[in-house]
DNA sequence: ATAAGGGTTCCAGTCACTGGAAGGTCAAGG
DNA sequence: CCTTGACCTTCCAGTGACTGGAACCCTTAT
């Protein structure tokens, strides 16, 4: 398989796949012509990474997870630790964003949003109340 | 005021304040010795930016908001448009993260997390069910 | 005189890509 | 045989919003 095939199979842009090779997440062989040649294992790894990334794991997490995946004797606790750390990050981010959302919603609602110049949003940014 | 005073007043790291000068969000004068000299207006601007950033506005948004703030004849609708766009971004991000959270939570719960090697987390990453 | 604690610049690195230029390869059609 | 177009290659640079670090200057106190 060439990179384009893998791109459509995984949904990852070819650029991204090259980048993943760069940072050592995958190591396809090369054909006579210098083209990358992906086998089923490469494809599987890339799908794994794509799925992991979509769940918020960093590329370093992906590297660790791939290693754990290939280590037949890993403890499931090790995997869970990685997943829990990520879950904590995600939860923290949600909390942070929800606080923003709350404030922004209030401000947007308070602003009449017409042609007049007075604006509660700017007033809050300039000197937040509470 | 020197940069350190502004840093403690705004809570922004000195490095960040220098960066904001770099990208033109603030333009403090310079003293004889080459030190940045911040006046009340600079301080106010930086607080404004800090507050805006904490609500998820990009630095470019901050630039626009500062301009609107200084434009006595702006329409509040213009400000609201910027805020609404940001709110939409924030909401979209929350939705995305909540989807991750949901899946991650399920996976973490499903994993017994002991010394045994079989792990539903890795299984899902390798071949997601549904 | 020196040491501590400011301040300055500039360069490089982060993270995970993404865009673009310049060029090589391959299969099909005229 | 030649061209066209769709692939592929490498390499360099840019994104956003900082952050770290080196090397150096300024000020104040001891």
Contacts of residue A63, defined as CB under 8 A and 6 or more positions apart, other chains included, come to: A23, A24, A25
Parts of chain A with a pLDDT under 50: none
Do B103 and A65 count as a contact with CB atoms less than 8 A apart? no
Sign of the torsion angle spanned by Cα atoms B4, B5, B11, B12: negative
CA of B14 to C1' of D25 (A): 18
Give the pLDDT of residue B12: 97
Residue B33's nearest nucleotide, by CA–C1', is D26
CA of B75 to C1' of D26 (A): 47
B55 and chain A in contact, CB less than 8 A: yes
Alpha carbon distances (Å) from A31 to A1, A34, A130, B23:
10, 5, 64, 47
Instruction: Tell me the pLDDT tens digit for each residue of B62-84.
Output: 999 999 999 999 999 999 999 99
Task: Tell me the CATH class for B1-74.
Answer: mainly alpha
Decide: residue B105, CB within 10 A, 0-12 exposed, 13-18 middle, 19+ buried: middle
Give the pLDDT of residue A117: 92
Give the pLDDT of residue A129: 83
- Among B10, B13, B39, residue whose Cα is nearest residue B27: B39
Give the pLDDT of residue A95: 98
Give the pLDDT of residue B129: 84
DSSP assignment of A74-113 equals --HHHHHHHHHHHHHHHHHHHHHHHHHHHHHHHHHHH---
Task: Tell me the CATH class for A3-74.
Answer: mainly alpha
Residue A77 structure tokens? 């606790």
8 A C-beta contact, residue B88 and residue A48: no
Parts of chain B with a pLDDT under 70: none
B27 and chain A in contact, CB less than 8 A: no
CA triplet A62, A99, B87: central angle to 5 degrees?
85
């Amino acid at each position: 398989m060439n990179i384009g095939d893998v791109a459509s199979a995984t949904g990852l842009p070819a650029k991204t796949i090259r980048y993943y090779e760069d940072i050592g997440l995958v190591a396809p062989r090369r054909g006579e012509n210098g083209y990358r040649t992906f086998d089923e294992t490469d494809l599987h790894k890339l799908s794994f990474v794509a799925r992991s990334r979509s769940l918020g794991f960093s590329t370093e997490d992906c590297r660790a997870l791939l290693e754990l995946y290939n280590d037949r004797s890993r403890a499931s606790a090790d995997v869970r630790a990685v997943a829990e750390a990520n879950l904590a990050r995600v939860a923290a981010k949600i909390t942070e964003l929800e606080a923003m959302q709350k404030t922004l919603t209030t401000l947007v609602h308070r602003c009449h949003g017409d042609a007049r110049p007075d604006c509660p949003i700017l007033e809050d940014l300039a000197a937040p109340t509470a």
